[in-house]
Amino acid sequence: MATLILEDGSRYAGTLFGRKAEVTGEVVFTTGMTGYQETLTDPSYCGQIVCMTYPLIGNVGINAIDSESVGVYMKGFVVSELCDTPSNWKCEKTLDRYLDEQGVTGLCGVDTRALTRHVRVYGMLRGRIVAGEPTEADVEAARAFVLHDQVARCTCKAPYDLPAGGEGGALRIAVMDFGLKRGILRSLQARGCALRVYPADTPARDILADGCDGVMLTNGPGNPEDNPKSIETIRALMDERPVFGICLGHQLMALAMGGHTVKMKYGHHGANHPVKDLARGTCSVTAQNHCFMVDPQRLPAGAQVSHVNWNDQTVEGVRYTDRPAFSVQFHPEACGGPRETAYLFDDFLDMVKKEGARHA
């Protein structure tokens, strides 16, 4: 027997799997019905204990193809039913074995519906997974948990290059890695972009000195305000090149332009969030993973809301009317999830080409 104890004293019993070690983190839930390997390897979950609302997890095992990063950055993984006999042609190992190799604690047999409802009512709470019965010291450890600078844990250590795929002439896109998902890189490469990926703390002058036609700001974990150097870099880059931001990149762009961000009650995590594109008049199902959002009451000057969440009316996209730049809170590359908003990569590259022609 094992227990997830929350900072408010709530307890959820289960059985350990994976690493089987005690861990502490911020508890969130995700509503994705597929793509648990992509969820596990999304760096935006760095430092969190993730509850899967879909009841059966592990049924297709783990493979070498579907990972969105080099490993798992979350602290714990909570599921209702763990499948220990996966069946899929790509399967190379069980989820249990994979989490053990990655040093991540799993907890199965949990009433995930009750846990999810609790988080929805009371908001994101810190928690601790322990073997056996938790003590008051475990509750205090959960309450004392603080994690900052997650981006530094997830970003690449040195710049690296990726070749263009697809057809046509290669655009040179600089990618600022705040804890990226590989789907973003694949989406740009497939559209004929040659990429240079930079660590999050790279100064703007170094990126501009290498030469690029546009800048991609990726997703990543944590509080956007924990990244003052990156915000300064983005501010400088937005004066010089077309910029597209996704998720954390979206929030950092707003901060760079003088806007504000706020923490949400329990965030958006999953692959079934409806978003309205105000310009196109369309509504798409999107993949999302974030705990912070751009404050609609304190938008930067020159910012115009372009996308709205159709569940709670939160800001999902911003276009900047005074420069070639836009950003979205959701993931147009999906992985896993629907790809209904992949057109945004085409919008970005059209903007890059237009700016290039204007300055030629």
307 annotated active-site: no
Residues in the chain: 360
Of the candidates 268, 269, 333, 335, the residue annotated as catalytic is 333
39, 69 contact by CB (below 8 A) = no
Of residues 247, 307, 316, 335, which has the active-site annotation? 247
Instruction: Please list, residue by residue across 267-294, b when 16 or more beta carbons sit within 10 angstroms of its beta carbon and e when fewer do.
Output: bbbbbebebbbeeeeeebbbbbbbbbbb
Catalytic residue among 118, 268, 290, 331: 331
In angstroms, rounded to a whole number, what is the distance separating the alpha carbons of residues 299 and 161?
34
Nearest CA to 3 out of 139, 147, 140, 146 is that of 139
Contact criterion met (CB below 8 Å) for 192 and 235: no
Q: Which of 11, 19, 14, 58 is nearest to 39 (CA)?
A: 58
Look up 331 and say whether it is catalytic.
Answer: yes
Catalytic residue at 355?
Answer: no
Q: Which residues are catalytic?
A: 247, 331, 333
